[in-house]
Homo-oligomer: A and B are copies of this chain.
Amino acid sequence: MRRKLTQRGRDRRDQLLDHAARLFAERGYHPTAVSDIVASLGVGKGVFYWYFSSKEELLVEILKASHLDLRRRQQAAIGDEPDPVRRIELGIRASLAWFAQHREYFAIIQFAATDETFAPVLRRNREIGLADTIKHLKEAMVEHQIADQDPEVLANAIHGVVDQLTRRCVLERDEPVERVADAAVDFCLGGLRVSPAS
């Protein structure tokens, strides 16, 4: 759906995006009706279909916009840091911080991953994120800062740690982001540090 929007129109669209994201996060995508979304704004149903051609398109827009925002935050955090390992660390910290500030998107992304309709968008988002991490990992390998291993597997493992610790520690248990980020970075850089003896 492409339409000429005035400032008023753009504001409405953003309102719809925001309210929908909140409702999707709270109750889930399917259980949230379009009529719930417009009701939460106190407007008629037609408003929704003025800005979006379908409920599906709305979710796709939410996914794209949020990923863009997360990525901007990561890049801002990394800046021009020259050390690749340090860049990975800064990326991990930025991700945790972003999710702590945008909790609602976590549940939405997780649902979208379970629905074939949205999987392509999500896959694309993920590939971009992985590519960033892989780039840093490869550089770190070239500089012999870390051992030579399949960078794609490593990148996935790192994202798995960040994902899980965000979910369990930051979102569910409300632990301070800093502390959780420290733990995530520690685990990724050093694992369980099993002593060679074992």
Contacts and interface: CB of A to CB of B under 8 A. Distances in A.
A149 to B, nearest CB: 8
A43 interface: no
Given A28-B114, A156-B169, A160-B164, A145 B194 contact: yes
A149 B111 CA distance: 32
Interface string A151-194: 00110110111111100110000000000100110111111111
A154 B28 contact: no
A80 interface: no
Nearest to A158: B192
Nearest to A194: B189
Contact of A198 (B83, B165, B193): B83
A76 interface: no
Contact of A160 (B115, B163, B189, B191): B163
A116 B145 CA distance: 44
A33 interface: no
A156 B165 contact: yes
A69 interface: no
A38 interface: no
A113 B114 CA distance: 10
A157 B157 CA distance: 10
A145 B195 contact: yes
A6 to B, nearest CB: 36
Given A27-B116, A116-B28, A193 B146 contact: yes
5 contacts: A28-B115, A85-B198, A157-B187, A160-B160, A191-B192
Interface of A: 27-28, 30-31, 83, 85, 107, 110-111, 113-116, 144-147, 149-150, 153-154, 156-157, 159-165, 168-169, 180, 183-184, 186-195, 197-198
